[in-house]
Amino acid sequence: MTETVVAVDGPAGSGKSSVSKAAAKRLDFAFLDTGAAYRALAWHVLESGANPEQATEVISSLGGFDYSIGTDPDGYAVHVSGTDVTESIREPRVSAAVSAVARVPEVRAHLTALFRSIIRDSDKAGIIVEGRDITTVVAPDATARILLTASEEARMSRRSAELATESASDVAIALQKRDRADSRVVDFMTAADGVVTVDSTNLNFDETVDAVLDVIRTSH
């Protein structure tokens, strides 16, 4: 039974994955990257030759979607039907397909139920769960609820530094497109009632982790 649940939402490039993972390590908590599950499904849809833009094809793919997602911040890996897809779910083709898959209500209901069972069954004292709708839908009763933001400029430049193989403008365009599509489904740019905003625009990585840890400590 997980005692402390920390919900972290934010847009692409806000650093929520790496910051949440580092905070989980510091607290010896489990870590759940829900975006990785949406990406794993998008990868599965593409691999099975289905059209990610067609909700009926996406819903059919859910039947054969057998995935596992690690919750250890150190040995984190994602598998679909036994294949390690940890790296391939970050490919641009998956990033381009994921919003269409994630807007299907049946997909959201299916994955939300899985996330809740992962949260419930974690064997650590706490878990940090990050995504777009964790503070509002997946775990609205979480012990600590955080919206991690950063200016668009900061998010674009962090993401292009991560993906050194793509040009900065390609990354910026793809990211803006994905944020626009995602925000039609879930509002992850404004903090819901009781959610604490951490703005990392002028913070370095360690300072952002410390700010998140402060919110967690004061939320008990």
Q: Residues in the site for ligand C5P, rule: CB under 6 A?
A: 12, 34-35, 38-39, 98-99, 102, 131-134, 178, 182
Minimum distance from residue 37 beta carbon to ligand C5P (Å): 8
Minimum distance from residue 98 beta carbon to ligand C5P (Å): 4
Q: Helix 168-183 to helix 152-162 angle, to the nearest 10 degrees?
A: 120
Do 93 and 15 meet the contact criterion of CB atoms below 8 Å apart? no
Cα 168–Cα 89–Cα 180 angle in degrees, nearest 5: 55
Decide: helix, strand or coil at residue 4. Answer: strand
Minimum distance from residue 215 beta carbon to ligand C5P (Å): 19
CA distances from 48 to 52, 81, 155 (A): 10, 12, 32
Residue nearer to ligand C5P on the CB measure, 29 or 38: 38
Return the structure tokens found at 127.
């878990």
Minimum distance from residue 112 beta carbon to ligand C5P (Å): 8
Residue nearer to ligand C5P on the CB measure, 154 or 182: 182
d(C-alpha 98, C-alpha 41), whole Å: 8
Minimum distance from residue 207 beta carbon to ligand C5P (Å): 21
Residue nearer to ligand C5P on the CB measure, 28 or 109: 109
Q: Which residue has the tokens 């503070």?
A: 135
Residue nearer to ligand C5P on the CB measure, 27 or 179: 179
Residue nearer to ligand C5P on the CB measure, 28 or 117: 117
